[in-house]
Amino acid sequence: MKRRTFLDRLVGLAVLPLTLTELPLASAAVDSNSIEFLQANWRNLLSVSATIATDTTPLELDLKKWRNRLSPEAFNVLFEEATERPFSSDLNEEKRSGIFVCRACHLPLFSSEMKYDSGTGWPSFFVNIPGHLKTKNDFKLIWPRTEYHCVKCGGHQGHVFKDGPKPTGDRWCNNGVALRFIPAD
């Protein structure tokens, strides 16, 4: 692992609060039925004129083509599994209604109603759009973590932790540079 990457991750760990279970959600009280509704009706946040591909068939582009399409920072996070610095993304403060899509392939991953302020410095979500993310074990640090990727392009988005708010208890901690926000209006 590169020394810079290790130091960035170490600094990121230092800003994590001990518990996130009592943090308020972006939307009002959320229960299991509400989560199912959010997951099933995220398209309602798109304007009528918005055209977003929702096909999850994997893309087969080589890394050179992805490098040409993305900024160096986005490429490093998405295809070299780097982590951006905490509090560096404008999406951390994004409060408008809309959809968060993969920066590389534009597949919708989260809605604004799934977002909450985790206090960690990265955009965080308590649930995701079903079938649009895949997980794998990550052993890059001392203890194993669950890493997640876009199912369409394979781009690394972030890690999911079990210290999120009720009712899911999940914190889908995303690199802001790996996302693009499409406002509802």
Catalytic residue IDs: 173
**Cα dist from 74 to 70, 175, 182, whole Å:** 6, 9, 17
Query: φ and ψ at 50, to 5 degrees?
Result: -70, 135
Q: End-to-end alpha-carbon separation of the chain, Å?
A: 42
Task: Judge whether 128 and 135 are in contact, CB under 8 Å.
Answer: no
